[in-house]
Structure 1
């Protein structure tokens, strides 16, 4: 008996009590005496009893599992959001299943189907940069009661709650800081403009220039990837022109790091000749030889808020009400040596 998983029927037979009593004891039912509960639990352990979670899920209507889909887990931002979600939900007995889309909408679709087949209680999602058509997400809304919560990268789909940072405000703050430090010819590494977060950062950059009576130069807006190599290539492109910028606001810390490396290689002084500020406040920014300014997205808080939105949604559903929530967090700016000239 100890070599295989026992059932509640085996425990019932051994203790000569009803199956119903065993089940209630294992589920801590108040009508079962403490002595009986302890005896049943002790016997269950001795007999290698494992609770059938699938059967329990079918009975209760919940699996206590949630899915999280992110482009990658190997960045501080996404790993910190996941941490925030876990911290918020673990108290309520939830476990997370983490999936990576690798910026591929087809992989994203497969993960969504896998999570739905696993009957997760909810899905947290930051869309891939190749997610343009959202039919696969909208289909879930029309065929399933599983709630979806977007965080950071989102699509405007009715019925889906979102938790984001105010990227427009972050772009505005970063650009205004550079202007306040005396920089006038400010370049922007815009990121992938298929994603709303980068559009908002670009719009914040533009508005800050307009509000401070500075021209918006299209030549100063460079579409880049969010990588070190992308930042290096952007500097090469900029320095091939007649007019070079005196400051760079990058929508990505990694592209900003690449820019710093290439500027140093060219013996261009930071921040005396060119200032650099990034976005996301990755841990490496404060430990660089020349610490780099950056806009913080408060990712742990974002994850915690996403968890709260999910819990509220579950509560709303149980009362027959479904409320769509839009949570927008305030960004914080960390000023370091890379952009502080005054």
Structure 2
């Protein structure tokens, strides 16, 4: 038996209380009276009690580890958010275990269960595009492993969430295209089951509506958040009898595919087709022409998600209410959308 547990036993015997009372007092549990805490701490000082960190993590049921599940680490948005999580976690003495769902519900389920068996203290997650059920996150909450969502969130799971104002970002992106004289604006939306896709589509739709422009069914197509499908959807849109004069893609990864397709087809950006993305990846500025986009504070999203999950882990009480933090987007306007205003 390790030294720490013997010492706890000694303190318990000396004070005629149970071992669990001593361990609760040592971790400042609200279930123990102040007077008992003082007696335990005083005796612990006298006996030079220094806890063994492994024994302490078992006592506290803490491993000082956070899990994070993202759809894809190769996506610069998620790698930046992970860096934000790590920035806060390491400063607070926590390690981070990183999992990728690859947009698969089954992978996400396995990852969530692995996090439970590894006894992580909490989970930060951005959900996979194919997830329709979220019981695996509720199961973690029932096991006292708090879950915080960022970017892609679920309304079914009641917890803290960190998102950006996808609606406003999409509205402003579409409005920018309208103000540059575009009148046939297509939208390549993300998977319809995701909150971010829905909010971005709504922003696009409402901007068209406000400026009296038509929302044509054939100008709205859906894509996974990747480059290959962006390319396919661009070919589809440009084959229409009435082709769009602008394309607003729901992510930069989709927009990269569109950019490539337009160049292959010989269309000039922005003269023939203006192009706008969403998330402002570093590579977007390096394209020819450079891609206009809606910038998201990904690093800050990671930081805030980490702060919220640590608050849940370290708080002795369940919060009265959970908050959804909405961070601001801003337009990064580059050549791909700067159509000459006639």
Q: How many angstroms apart in 2 are the aligned matches of 1:265 and 1:233?
A: 12
Q: How many angstroms apart in 2 are the aligned matches of 1:103 and 1:277?
A: 24
Q: Deviations over 1:12-57 (max 9, x none)?
A: xxxxxxx99xxxxxxxx99589xx99xx9xxxxxxxxxx662x221
8 A Cα contact 2:134 2:157, kept in partner: no
Q: Deviations over 1:284-310 (max 9, x none)?
A: 101112110011121001011111212
Task: Map residues 177-188 of structure 1 onto 2, 5 A cutoff.
Answer: 177-188=176-187
Q: What's the offset of the Cα at 1:158?
A: 4.6
Q: What's the offset of the Cα at 1:61?
A: 3.0
2:236 matched to which residue of 1?
A: 237
1:208 matched to which residue of 2?
A: 207
Q: Secondary structure at the match of 2:127?
A: coil
1:289 matched to which residue of 2?
A: 288
Q: What's the offset of the Cα at 1:161?
A: 1.2
Q: What's the offset of the Cα at 1:225?
A: 2.2
8 A Cα contact 2:312 2:318, kept in partner: no
**Greater Cα offset, 322-331 or 181-190:** 322-331
1:99 matched to which residue of 2?
A: 99
Q: How many angstroms apart in 2 are the aligned matches of 1:193 and 1:272?
A: 30
Gaps of 5+ in 2: 5-9, 12-41
**Greater Cα offset, 194-203 or 129-138:** 129-138
Q: What's the offset of the Cα at 1:323?
A: 3.2
2:316 matched to which residue of 1?
A: 318
Runs of at least 4 residues of structure 1 off by over 3 A?
Answer: 29-33, 319-323
8 A Cα contact 2:84 2:303, kept in partner: yes
Gaps of 5+ in 1: 1-6, 10-18, 21-28, 41-50
1:258 matched to which residue of 2?
A: 257
8 A Cα contact 1:228 1:256, kept in partner: yes
Q: Deviations over 1:212-242 (max 9, x none)?
A: 1111111110112222221221122122221
8 A Cα contact 2:71 2:128, kept in partner: yes
2:217 matched to which residue of 1?
A: 218
Q: How many angstroms apart in 1 are the aligned matches of 2:45 and 2:336?
A: 67
Q: How many angstroms apart in 2 are the aligned matches of 1:185 and 1:162?
A: 35
Q: Secondary structure at the match of 1:197?
A: helix
8 A Cα contact 2:85 2:306, kept in partner: yes
The two structures, once aligned, show a CA RMSD in angstroms of 2.5
Q: How many angstroms apart in 2 are the aligned matches of 1:314 and 1:261?
A: 45
- Cα distance 1:266–1:212, how it changes in 2: closer, same or farther (>3 A)? same
Q: How many angstroms apart in 2 are the aligned matches of 1:108 and 1:98?
A: 12
Q: What's the offset of the Cα at 1:151?
A: 0.6
Q: Secondary structure at the match of 2:278?
A: strand
Aligned residue pairs total: 305
Q: How many angstroms apart in 1 are the aligned matches of 2:318 and 2:224?
A: 44
Q: How many angstroms apart in 1 are the aligned matches of 2:261 and 2:158?
A: 45
8 A Cα contact 1:70 1:78, kept in partner: yes
Q: Secondary structure at the match of 1:187?
A: strand
Task: Map residues 182-197 of structure 1 onto 2, 5 A cutoff.
Answer: 182-197=181-196
Q: How many angstroms apart in 1 are the aligned matches of 2:175 and 2:326?
A: 21
8 A Cα contact 1:138 1:157, kept in partner: no
Q: What's the offset of the Cα at 1:86?
A: 0.9
- Cα distance 1:264–1:158, how it changes in 2: closer, same or farther (>3 A)? closer
**Greater Cα offset, 297-306 or 233-242:** 233-242
8 A Cα contact 1:313 1:322, kept in partner: no
- Cα distance 1:305–1:229, how it changes in 2: closer, same or farther (>3 A)? same
- Cα distance 1:306–1:320, how it changes in 2: closer, same or farther (>3 A)? closer
Which TM-score applies when normalising by structure 1? Answer: 0.83
Q: How many angstroms apart in 2 are the aligned matches of 1:215 and 1:254?
A: 26
2:227 matched to which residue of 1?
A: 228
